[in-house]
Amino acid sequence: MEKKTRANFDIFDFGLFIESLLIILVLIYFLVITISPL
């Protein structure tokens, strides 16, 4: 029981980590575009 819940929480945290990374990458992308437009 403990291992299963732990694994589920780890997967959930990993998903949130990926989502936050994607958001940060998008913000940096827009910053680069606004600073140096091609």
Please name the residue that has the structure tokens 């606004």: 34
What pLDDT is recorded for position 2?
Answer: 58
Would you state the structure tokens that stand for residue 11, as one six-digit string?
A: 């997967």
- Tokens found for residue 29: 């992308």
Alpha-carbon gap, residue 23 to 11, rounded angstroms: 18
Residue type, 33: I
> DSSP for the chain?
-HHHHHHHHHHHHHHHHHHHHHHHHHHHHHHHHHHS--
Q: Look at the chain and report how many structural domains it folds into.
A: 1
| Residue 20 lies in domain | 1-38
pLDDT at 8: 63
pLDDT, tens digit, for every residue of 3-35?
A: 666 666 676 788 888 999 999 999 999 999 998
Q: What is the pTM of this model?
A: 0.55
